[in-house]
Structure 1
Amino acid sequence: MTKPAAPKRHLPTSPFKAPVTPTPKHFTEGDQVTHDVYGLGRVISIEEGIAALVDFGSEQVRILSPYAKMTKL
Protein backbone atom coordinates (compact mmCIF):
# COMPACT_ATOMS: atom_id res chain seq x y z
CA MET A 1 0.00 0.00 0.00
CA THR A 2 1.11 3.54 -0.66
CA LYS A 3 1.28 6.13 2.04
CA PRO A 4 -1.01 9.17 1.55
CA ALA A 5 0.82 12.36 0.62
CA ALA A 6 1.31 14.87 3.41
CA PRO A 7 -0.15 18.34 2.80
CA LYS A 8 2.42 20.86 1.62
CA ARG A 9 3.32 23.46 4.21
CA HIS A 10 3.81 27.12 3.49
CA LEU A 11 7.29 28.50 4.15
CA PRO A 12 7.32 31.89 5.91
CA THR A 13 10.07 33.11 3.56
CA SER A 14 8.09 32.22 0.42
CA PRO A 15 7.28 35.15 -1.93
CA PHE A 16 3.89 33.54 -2.62
CA LYS A 17 0.81 33.95 -0.47
CA ALA A 18 -0.21 31.13 1.82
CA PRO A 19 -3.03 28.96 0.45
CA VAL A 20 -6.43 29.96 1.77
CA THR A 21 -8.87 27.30 2.87
CA PRO A 22 -12.33 28.19 1.53
CA THR A 23 -15.08 28.50 4.13
CA PRO A 24 -17.52 25.62 3.94
CA LYS A 25 -20.91 26.42 2.40
CA HIS A 26 -24.02 25.84 4.50
CA PHE A 27 -27.48 25.32 3.07
CA THR A 28 -30.84 24.82 4.76
CA GLU A 29 -34.05 23.25 3.53
CA GLY A 30 -35.94 25.62 1.27
CA ASP A 31 -32.89 27.60 0.12
CA GLN A 32 -33.00 28.62 -3.52
CA VAL A 33 -29.72 27.72 -5.24
CA THR A 34 -28.01 27.76 -8.60
CA HIS A 35 -25.72 25.03 -9.89
CA ASP A 36 -23.20 25.36 -12.73
CA VAL A 37 -24.50 22.19 -14.43
CA TYR A 38 -28.16 21.80 -13.36
CA GLY A 39 -29.27 25.45 -13.13
CA LEU A 40 -31.82 26.83 -10.64
CA GLY A 41 -33.19 24.65 -7.87
CA ARG A 42 -34.46 24.44 -4.30
CA VAL A 43 -32.90 22.43 -1.45
CA ILE A 44 -35.25 19.65 -0.33
CA SER A 45 -33.17 18.05 2.42
CA ILE A 46 -29.72 18.22 3.98
CA GLU A 47 -27.38 15.51 5.23
CA GLU A 48 -25.25 17.79 7.43
CA GLY A 49 -21.68 17.97 6.14
CA ILE A 50 -22.28 15.21 3.59
CA ALA A 51 -24.75 16.17 0.84
CA ALA A 52 -27.84 18.15 -0.15
CA LEU A 53 -30.83 16.87 -2.10
CA VAL A 54 -31.86 19.56 -4.58
CA ASP A 55 -34.97 19.72 -6.78
CA PHE A 56 -34.11 21.26 -10.15
CA GLY A 57 -37.63 20.91 -11.55
CA SER A 58 -36.92 18.20 -14.11
CA GLU A 59 -34.90 16.06 -11.69
CA GLN A 60 -33.77 15.72 -8.08
CA VAL A 61 -30.01 15.52 -7.58
CA ARG A 62 -27.90 14.70 -4.53
CA ILE A 63 -25.05 17.22 -4.48
CA LEU A 64 -22.06 16.22 -2.35
CA SER A 65 -20.25 18.56 0.03
CA PRO A 66 -18.24 20.91 -0.40
CA TYR A 67 -20.78 22.10 -3.00
CA ALA A 68 -18.10 23.58 -5.28
CA LYS A 69 -20.47 24.30 -8.19
CA MET A 70 -23.50 25.37 -6.12
CA THR A 71 -24.27 28.80 -4.66
CA LYS A 72 -27.15 30.18 -2.60
CA LEU A 73 -29.31 32.88 -4.17
Structure 2
Amino acid sequence: MTSRSGAQRRHLVSSPFKPTVEPEVENFELNDRVSHQSYGLGRVVGKESAAVTVDFGSCTRRIVSPFHKLERL
Protein backbone atom coordinates (compact mmCIF):
# COMPACT_ATOMS: atom_id res chain seq x y z
CA MET A 1 0.00 0.00 0.00
CA THR A 2 1.33 3.41 -0.90
CA SER A 3 0.40 6.69 0.69
CA ARG A 4 -0.20 9.90 -1.23
CA SER A 5 1.82 12.94 -0.43
CA GLY A 6 0.32 16.41 -0.32
CA ALA A 7 1.99 17.37 -3.61
CA GLN A 8 -0.14 18.88 -6.35
CA ARG A 9 -0.75 16.78 -9.42
CA ARG A 10 0.40 18.18 -12.74
CA HIS A 11 -2.32 19.37 -15.12
CA LEU A 12 -1.94 18.20 -18.70
CA VAL A 13 -2.74 20.74 -21.42
CA SER A 14 -4.62 18.07 -23.39
CA SER A 15 -6.85 17.20 -20.41
CA PRO A 16 -10.59 17.85 -20.89
CA PHE A 17 -10.88 18.83 -17.22
CA LYS A 18 -10.25 22.34 -15.96
CA PRO A 19 -7.25 22.82 -13.67
CA THR A 20 -7.94 23.64 -10.05
CA VAL A 21 -7.57 27.35 -9.39
CA GLU A 22 -5.88 28.47 -6.20
CA PRO A 23 -8.06 31.04 -4.43
CA GLU A 24 -6.43 34.45 -4.13
CA VAL A 25 -6.17 35.36 -0.46
CA GLU A 26 -6.75 39.04 0.22
CA ASN A 27 -4.32 40.85 2.51
CA PHE A 28 -5.90 43.06 5.19
CA GLU A 29 -4.14 45.75 7.21
CA LEU A 30 -4.93 47.17 10.66
CA ASN A 31 -7.78 49.73 10.68
CA ASP A 32 -9.13 48.58 7.29
CA ARG A 33 -12.90 49.01 6.98
CA VAL A 34 -14.47 45.71 5.96
CA SER A 35 -17.85 44.18 5.27
CA HIS A 36 -18.83 40.63 6.22
CA GLN A 37 -21.85 38.84 4.77
CA SER A 38 -23.05 37.66 8.20
CA TYR A 39 -21.76 40.28 10.67
CA GLY A 40 -21.98 43.50 8.63
CA LEU A 41 -19.58 46.44 8.74
CA GLY A 42 -16.45 46.34 10.86
CA ARG A 43 -12.84 47.42 11.32
CA VAL A 44 -9.73 45.19 11.42
CA VAL A 45 -8.21 45.43 14.91
CA GLY A 46 -5.79 42.49 14.81
CA LYS A 47 -3.75 40.70 12.17
CA GLU A 48 -2.10 37.28 12.18
CA SER A 49 -0.50 35.23 9.41
CA ALA A 50 -3.69 33.22 8.71
CA ALA A 51 -6.45 35.25 10.39
CA VAL A 52 -7.71 38.73 11.17
CA THR A 53 -9.65 40.01 14.18
CA VAL A 54 -12.52 42.32 13.25
CA ASP A 55 -14.53 44.60 15.55
CA PHE A 56 -18.13 44.72 14.30
CA GLY A 57 -19.34 47.08 17.04
CA SER A 58 -21.60 44.60 18.84
CA CYS A 59 -19.03 41.77 18.72
CA THR A 60 -15.42 41.02 17.87
CA ARG A 61 -14.71 38.01 15.66
CA ARG A 62 -11.57 36.22 14.52
CA ILE A 63 -11.92 35.34 10.84
CA VAL A 64 -9.55 32.75 9.38
CA SER A 65 -8.08 32.66 5.89
CA PRO A 66 -9.28 32.36 3.14
CA PHE A 67 -11.68 35.23 3.77
CA HIS A 68 -14.64 34.11 1.62
CA LYS A 69 -17.29 36.34 3.20
CA LEU A 70 -15.06 39.31 4.06
CA GLU A 71 -14.30 42.18 1.68
CA ARG A 72 -12.42 45.47 2.03
CA LEU A 73 -14.44 48.66 1.57
Partner of 1:35: 36
Counterpart-to-counterpart distance in 1, 2:64 and 2:23: 16
Change in CA separation of 1:4 and 1:71 when aligned onto 2, cut-off 3 Å: same
TM-score normalized with structure 1 length: 0.78
Q: How does 1:1-12 map to 2 (within 5 A)?
A: 7-12=8-13
1:71 aligns with 2:64: no
RMSD over aligned CA atoms reads: 2.0
TM-score normalized with structure 2 length: 0.78
Query: What secondary structure, in the 3-state scheme, does the structure 2 residue paired with 1:11 have?
Result: coil
Pairs aligned (count): 71
State percent identity of aligned pairs. 46
Q: Which runs of 5+ in 2 are unaligned?
A: none
For residues 4-38 of structure 1, give each alpha carbon's deviation from its aligned partner in whole angstroms, at most 9, with x where no partner exists.
77645423212343222122210000000011111
